[in-house]
Structure formats: structure tokens, C-alpha cells
Structure 1
Amino acid sequence: MFVTMNRFTIDPEHWPAFEARFRERAGLVDGEPGFIRNAVLRPESDTTNQHVVMTMWESRSAFEAWTRSEAFRKAHEKAGQTPPAWFIAPSKLEMFESVTDSGG
């Protein structure tokens, strides 16, 4: 399994709008080949201000195919319209290859 975690450091004042943006586009990735799961995680407190957008894929190649797809373009078309004031720091994309998986 291949996992991506995109960390967004968001001003707490803008958490509701940031989360709404992801709710509005929910489901656009669901039908992509190799897609397993997507979750948007809110921090338990505002000490880090980091939301994590996590996706799980059958393979890195499935994830990379998604990034070249029309569905990806549609899912991210509003990204350039996001007000800079939402962000405390640039986002950071992390990628992982799973070495164990006990989930179902």
C-alpha cells in the first residue's frame, strides 16, 4: 500500500472554510483505479494548526496516475483560489510505502 499525507498549516480562524472545501470535493477520487481511502484529519488542538489530508492507494503508480487524471484536475481546480491568509506555512506532501497493514 502507498500512503500520502499532505500537511496544511491553517490559521484556526479558517479551519471551517478549509474543511468545507474538502467536503465539497469529496468523492472525486473514489472511482480512481487503485484508490483505497481518503481522510481529512483535523488537529485535536490548535498547537500545530496542521490538518492532514491522507490518501491510501494500492501502489505508487496508482497515485501517480491519479495526479495526471482529469478527476485530479477537477478536484484541485479551486486550489489556486484559496486565500493566502488561510495558510500559516506552505503545505508539505509526504509519501510512504506501507511495510505492515493490520486494517481491513
Structure 2
Amino acid sequence: MFVVMNRIPVKPEYAERFEEVFRTRARLVDRMPGFIRNLVLRPKNPEDPYIVLTFWESEEAFRAWTESPAFKEGHARSGTLPKEAFRGPNRLETFQVVLDSEVEGD
């Protein structure tokens, strides 16, 4: 499994709007081959970034998503928040799963 983590530093006064963008998302990624699931984590400390996790069957499936027209369409919606909603740039990190306690045999 391949996991992508996006750390997004949102100013506290824009937190509700940021969450609403995800609640009303287009769900285009959900139909992509190899997509498993998406988690959006709200920080307990408002000064910490939101964490958006996507889980994929493989890195190739994730790369196919990022190169698809659906990716461009889905991310165009995130432009509904002004630049001042963010405390800085997002930080994308990628991981290969070594152990998953939900999967028998790991």
C-alpha cells in the first residue's frame, strides 16, 4: 500500500471553510483505480497543520491520479479558499506501508 500525506497549514479563522471544501468535495478520486480511502485530520492544536491522507494500492495508481483530468478538476475546487487562508505552503510526503495491523499476515 502507498500512502500520501499532505500537511496543510490553515489559519484557524478559515478552518470551518477548509473542512467544508472536503465535506462537499467532488469525490472524483473515489472512482480512480487503485484508490482505497481518504482521511482528513483536524489538528487539536489550531497552530498545527491539517493532515490529509490518501491510501492507494500502489504508487503507480497514485501517479496515474495526479496525471489525470479528474485530478485537475478536483483540485480546481480548492481554489475556493483565498491564499490568506493558509499560514504557508502545504507539504506533501509519500510512504510505502511496511505494516498494517488490519491486514492479516503482516
TM-score with structure 1 setting the length: 0.91
Map 1:61-100 → 2, pairs under 5 A: 61-100=60-99
Whole-Å separation in 1 of the counterparts to 2:38 and 2:26: 9
Whole-Å separation in 2 of the counterparts to 1:36 and 1:89: 29
Is the aligned partner of 1:16 residue 2:27? no
Give structure 2 stretches of 5+ with no counterpart.
none
Whole-Å separation in 2 of the counterparts to 1:47 and 1:91: 14
| One-letter amino acid matched to 1:101 | D
- What is the number of residues matched between the two proteins? 103
> Displacement of 1:83 after TM fit?
0.6
Task: Give the superposed CA RMSD.
Answer: 1.4
> Displacement of 1:60 after TM fit?
0.2
Is the aligned partner of 1:30 residue 2:25? no
Q: Deviations over 1:15-41 (max 9, x none)?
A: 000111111115221111000010111
| One-letter amino acid matched to 2:22 | F
Deviation >2 Å, runs of 4+ = 78-82
Percentage of identical aligned residues: 50
Q: Deviations over 1:35-87 (max 9, x none)?
A: 00101110112242x10110000000000000111221111013345311111
Give structure 1 stretches of 5+ with no counterpart.
none
Whole-Å separation in 2 of the counterparts to 1:47 and 1:73: 29
Do 2:3 and 2:95's aligned partners in 1 also have CA atoms closer than 8 Å?
yes
